[in-house]
Amino acid sequence: MKFRILTLVLSLAFSSIAIAQSSFPTLKTNDLPGVEFTGTRSFTETSLYGYIDGGAELYLEYGFDTLVVTELTSQAKDIKVEVYRMKDPEAAFGIFSVSRFRCNGGAKLTDYYCRSAYQLQLCKGPYYVSIINSDGTNEEQALSDNIARTLLASIDGPSFNANQFSPEEVSKEMMKSAVLVRGSLGVFNGVPSISEILGGAAGYTALITKGVDGTLISLRFDSEEGANSYIQSQEIDREILDRGEQTATKAGATASKICIQHLLIRTN
């Protein structure tokens, strides 16, 4: 367990370095022959509200850095490309996990992607990308794939690795429905059923996966104080927890401890 925790800490440190050194992935006119570039806009933390209004709060909760929006036209069809740079790969996967909807498969582009007729979503490294077309035609979807491949080729750094976050093995099948949250807005948008369990939490990152035995919440706090406050709010028996055993929470789940700032919550 100590080795896994040390590995996690080192992984987070190297991820931060990679993010700081990476350049923003952008599209160039010669990347897409026959496509007209009609406009490019960029947004920061303070100006994001001017683009998505109330929706900005969700991105800021996860950890938002920069958004570049590129508008294209191909054969009289409009395509909008949104590239969000988040604070870290966890934040990128988190916003992707609460945004994907009715994914229909198709060619694999990267580890985390979701394709529908009108939208292609993906995340790699600290970037979340959304490509939206106007009519959902096969040609537009093919162009969206080409745009995605172009952007992915210029994104360096590691993507979110669930097995470095959770001490239990997380399968690819489980990751298809996994959700990562960092606050109440993420919970509301992604997994409202666990709002009571995480209602007393603050300053945390939680990966929620579903298996045959129910729902597992890998709950990591930013500080020891945050973990202690949550333990008190859920009326968790500290002595049982410190012995490495499972104990009940006020919300009807069970809790066990990985380390002083990292808990596992199980619910049916």
Are 130 and 121 in contact, with CB atoms under 8 Å apart?
Answer: yes
pLDDT at 9: 40
Q: Note the pLDDT of residue 19.
A: 41
pLDDT for 250: 95
The domain segmentation of the chain, as residue ranges, is 23-152, 162-267
Determine whether domain 23-152 maps to CATH 3.90.550: no
List, in order, residues 6 or more apart from 267 with CB less than 8 Å away.
Answer: 194, 197, 214, 215, 217, 251, 252, 253, 254
The strand ranges marked E within 157-259 are 179-181, 204-211, 214-221, 247-248, 254-259
At 2 the pLDDT is 43
pLDDT of the residue at 22: 53
CA separation for the pair 246, 206 (Å, rounded): 18
What is the Cα–Cα distance from 213 to 267, expressed in whole angstroms?
A: 8
Q: What is the pLDDT of residue 119?
A: 98
* SS3 of residue 122 by DSSP: strand
Q: Are 141 and 189 in contact (CB under 8 A)?
A: no
In order along its 268 residues, the chain shows pLDDT tens digits of: 444 444 444 344 444 444 444 589 999 989 999 999 999 999 999 999 999 988 999 999 999 999 999 999 999 999 999 999 999 999 999 999 999 998 998 899 999 999 999 999 999 999 999 999 999 999 999 999 999 999 999 998 889 999 888 888 889 999 999 999 999 999 999 999 999 999 889 999 999 999 888 899 999 999 999 999 999 999 999 999 999 999 999 999 999 999 999 999 999 8
